[in-house]
Structure 1
Amino acid sequence: MITYDEAIHRVIDTVKVLPPVEETIENALGRVLAAPVRARWAMPPVDNSAMDGFALKGTGLTAGSELRVVGFVPAGRPFTQAISEGEAVRIMTGAPIPAGCDTVVPMEEAEVEDDRIHLSKTPGPGQHIRRRGEEFEEGEPLLSPGTPLYAGEIALLATAGISTVQVYPRPRVALLATGDELVELGAPPGPGQIINSNTYLLAARLREEGCHVLPLGIARDEQRDLGDKIAAGLRLDVLITTGGVSVGDRDLVQDALGQHGFSPIFWKVKIKPGKPVLFGTAGKTAVFGLPGNPASSASTFELFVRPALRRMAGFRDPLPPRLKVTLSTAIDGGEKRQRFLWGTLHEDQGSYHFNPSSRQSSGQNRSLQGAQALLPVPAESPAIAAGTTVEVLLLRLPPGQSLQETVPQQSEP
């Protein structure tokens, strides 16, 4: 049985970045840039005022100097009249600096009397002027491949005149739950039956990751129904199944996948929860067979599926970032498999503490409620005392935490 480290390396080595597509910047939010972007023009395109005030030639002026106001420059309109010494032009923020002017005096530093102003302070040479190209020049590189596009990047692209970009597409993911014991939400469970909650959990996480999701419903424990739904799922980039990957008489997923060209890469990993997780490919489709227990399904999604999706979507660091934290309560040791414990984070005097959830059962959705991180506990580990510094796999940023303060688990292979 392979370890988690061996398994995740196989996943990352197997899945490939999806071919880039061209997208408008309105639809590129959250996507990863696939090609470099250069500015179409300089920004600012001309010298302009950073303040509402008066544009003038500042040489030789001091507090008390008097100047005659000879015009007005609103934003968006050039001023063509030549400006001489002893003259000033009222100017608005963003308006082009008139020829002959090299300084802007803010409104609050000038006393206005009819068509004249008196300076209350000695102006500094070149003050309050935004210089042409100080943000970027025409043709200057702005963003490099691998950059995630968030609001700031979208604004920069728009400013530079970029309306479309090459990005990696959002992965298309099919979800298939398996098992005769499952019923859909809204149907009353019969004796021995439970609601198909895994599909809701995984669909929500997939949408949080920006994926396109195709729920395939529930496949019954018989080959024909299972095979038909698997065939539909293999048309997408990723197929995720839940349940049916253990060793019971009704665990038919591997056999059904084998009828559709599935090549297994691993089955069973030395972890708890999630030991019977399955991974492989069928053509160009990555296939994950997750255990049916809710917390096992959730943990194997975070440990294996999410990194694969991020790899496909072009992220440089597809694995969860690690965050050093202080353990709030003691952890038992001695387990034969590596454990991953759900927990929450809280800040105390500038450092973060990890609180393991009181419920760690693989069969409970309550294990997942509010979880922000997973704590890896090595196989055969001794007990870990409260107050020990440990590293957790970060699932959600706690308030006030930035990714720059975390340690990447691994750079892109």
Structure 2
Amino acid sequence: MSTLRSRSIEPVSGTAVTVDGIDAVLSSELSAIPSRYAVLADAAGATLAEPLAAAAALPVADTAAMDGFAVGGRGPRWRLLIGTCVAGRRSRIALADGEAVRISTGALAPAGATAVVRSEHAHIERIAGQATVVLAPGVPHRNDMRLRGESWSEGDELTPARVRVDAAVISVAQSAETPIAMVRGPLRADVLITGDEIRASGELAPGQVRDALGAALPLYLRHCDIGMGRLTRLPDDRTLLRTWFELDTDAELAITVGATGRGVADHLREVLAEIGARVIFDGVRMRPGGSHLVAELPDGRTLLALPGNPLAAIAATLVTGPALVRALTDRRDSPSLWGRIADAAAPASDLLRIVPARQVEGGVWRANGVAGTAHLANLLHADALALLPPGAGRGALVELLPLPR
């Protein structure tokens, strides 16, 4: 059995959902994983479980925003003292009214400093034999000093909970002396690719096809903030499939590729019923990728079962993967990307269509032709997957799922 939390669940058969309904179904049927303390620099793609608050003010003291002169008093002339205030060191220099000292960007302002005058606003003259900083003619007196707490004060909330840990969050946390915080995730998934005809390496036998997803799927999962655990390939064998579900793991997700159809070699639903899995939804009203499903396994993991055709699998991953991350890490909804599709005319259908699209001059989007599901060639020059609702016409405003670059 898995080393994850285990609880008794009632096996039920899920029903198909719409793309728009996936978030609501998952958020109501799945519980968020436990939170943990993590070094944020090592937790990109996780979700903050608590607001991020500053442990220290920024800046921690008055500092120079520009190279120039720290001055005492209004001037416009200041007697230049010997020495320089540099970043990273505390100076023993103290300024009296009418005195100045050289200062570098980021250096602590010396005691007695009332302002920092940037270099280009002043020059040095010798007046009565004394080096003197003189404000340039016509330059207004301004202060290029960053005051303590100007950016934030100790205890200030920098970002709320339920947001993604990205590069900006990591950087701000470092600046605020809060490099460790409570997070959920990032999620990790064990992946199983099934199919007697799938071959990863070596010469293809008659009827076999190359594994087109094993090397690419981790990139698409990472784009959804899902890390890759074990990758396993198995033939279409019911016993082996059940054994895979019972392997020990600490991954939060199980992802299968293939066996989501209802053919003679597709054993997934039978095995899920045998092990007592709870199917949350079985099918999404979309094409391609409509046969994918989500279930809760008896050991507490969540299963995302993807169809075997490569484009269908990627479409399902980009539609449902982020929704799983939102539900399992309690992430706040992120803004959607929308655009005008220049050629959305579609054959009559009551299903949402997913087509690769690229952005062209003028900001509009154009579909990459008729997409074949057996390969990802239509993604070679695509920027996103466009979600075309039934009846979408030329110039329709549609939701776009950005592709990893």
Q: TM-score range by the shorter chain?
A: 0.7 to 0.9
For residues 3 and 118 of structure 1, the distance between their equivalents in structure 2, rounded to whole angstroms, comes to 71
Q: Does 93-102 or 255-264 show the bigger shift?
A: 93-102
Please point out which of 301, 308, 322 is paired with 1:285: 301
Equivalence map 1:315-394=2 (5 Å): 315-317=331-333, 321-325=336-340, 327-348=341-362, 352-379=363-390, 381=391, 384-385=393-394, 388-394=395-401
Correspondence for 1:403:
none
Correspondence for 2:56:
41
Matched, 1:86 2:101: no
3-state SS in 1 of match to 2:213: helix
What is the CA-CA distance between 1:322 and the residue it aligns to?
A: 3.1
Q: Which amino acid aligns with 2:271?
A: A
Matched, 1:100 2:112: yes
Length, aligned pairs only: 384
The superposition leaves residues 213-251 of structure 1 with CA deviations (integer Å, 9 ceiling, x where unpaired) of 134422222221111122228763111112212121111
For residues 387 and 239 of structure 2, the distance between their equivalents in structure 1, rounded to whole angstroms, comes to 39
Instruction: Give the TM-score taking structure 1 as reference length.
Output: 0.83
What is the CA-CA distance between 1:150 and the residue it aligns to?
A: 2.8
The 1:313/1:132 distance shift into structure 2, 3 A limit, reads same
Please point out which of 133, 136, 141 is paired with 2:157: 141
Conservation of the 8 A alpha-carbon contact between 1:43 and 1:134? yes
Conservation of the 8 A alpha-carbon contact between 1:340 and 1:374? yes
Q: Which amino acid aligns with 1:158?
A: Q
Conservation of the 8 A alpha-carbon contact between 1:243 and 1:291? yes
Correspondence for 1:176:
192
Conservation of the 8 A alpha-carbon contact between 1:344 and 1:370? yes
Q: Please, which runs of 5 or more residues in structure 1 have no aligned partner?
A: 399-413
Q: Please, which runs of 5 or more residues in structure 2 have no aligned partner?
A: 1-15
Q: Does 20-29 or 112-121 show the bigger shift?
A: 112-121
3-state SS in 1 of match to 2:262: coil
Matched, 1:270 2:270: no
Task: Percent identity, please.
Answer: 25
Greater relative contact order: 1 or 2 (C-alpha under 8 angstroms, separation 6 or more)?
A: 2
Conservation of the 8 A alpha-carbon contact between 1:47 and 1:129? yes
Q: Which amino acid aligns with 2:393?
A: I
3-state SS in 1 of match to 2:60: coil
The superposition leaves residues 43-63 of structure 1 with CA deviations (integer Å, 9 ceiling, x where unpaired) of 22222222333322333x34x
3-state SS in 1 of match to 2:215: helix
The 1:234/1:11 distance shift into structure 2, 3 A limit, reads farther
The 1:250/1:209 distance shift into structure 2, 3 A limit, reads same
3-state SS in 1 of match to 2:247: helix
For residues 81 and 3 of structure 1, the distance between their equivalents in structure 2, rounded to whole angstroms, comes to 69
Conservation of the 8 A alpha-carbon contact between 1:178 and 1:219? yes
Conservation of the 8 A alpha-carbon contact between 2:339 and 2:400? no
Correspondence for 1:222:
237
Q: Does 238-247 or 153-162 show the bigger shift?
A: 153-162
Correspondence for 1:410:
none
The 1:234/1:334 distance shift into structure 2, 3 A limit, reads farther
Instruction: Give the TM-score taking structure 2 as reference length.
Output: 0.85
Q: CA RMSD in A?
A: 2.7
Correspondence for 1:411:
none
Q: Does 336-345 or 5-14 show the bigger shift?
A: 5-14
3-state SS in 2 of match to 1:104: strand
Equivalence map 1:232-251=2 (5 Å): 232=247, 236-251=251-266
